[in-house]
Amino acid sequence: MFDFLIPAAHAQTAGGGGAGAGLISFLPFVAVFAIMYFLMIRPQQQRQKQLKAELKALRRGDRIVTAGGVVGIVQRSREDSSEIEVEIAPNVRVTVLRETISTVLTSTAKPANDEPSK
């Protein structure tokens, strides 16, 4: 009665395809996940790890951007505290949470690839 819904090519296969056909049909999903992992998930994890290390190493003089888009200079920071005092204008200081800092623009630490001039 409902034979018109079954495609002719599918109806003519013998034996149902076996275990190999199921694995081959699952392979594109694995490939898509692998591509998504290496192009999107892994780089994001690396950026978050780098930002976490930068936030832990914050010290006076570092320029930062908060999640709200406020640019400021770190005036006081303690490693055991989650609060940082930031100067956003001359003589205007605010306290922000370390977790709300989205970018560290400049750091007072010396870059690793700089060599002293001779």
Predicted pLDDT at 47: 92
Across-strand partners of 21?
none
10-residue mean pLDDT series, the chain (118 residues): 60 56 84 93 93 89 93 89 93 94 78 55
Give me the domains of the chain, ranges plus CATH numbers: 57-106 (2.30.30)
What pTM does this model have?
Answer: 0.60
Element (H, E) at 106: strand 101-106
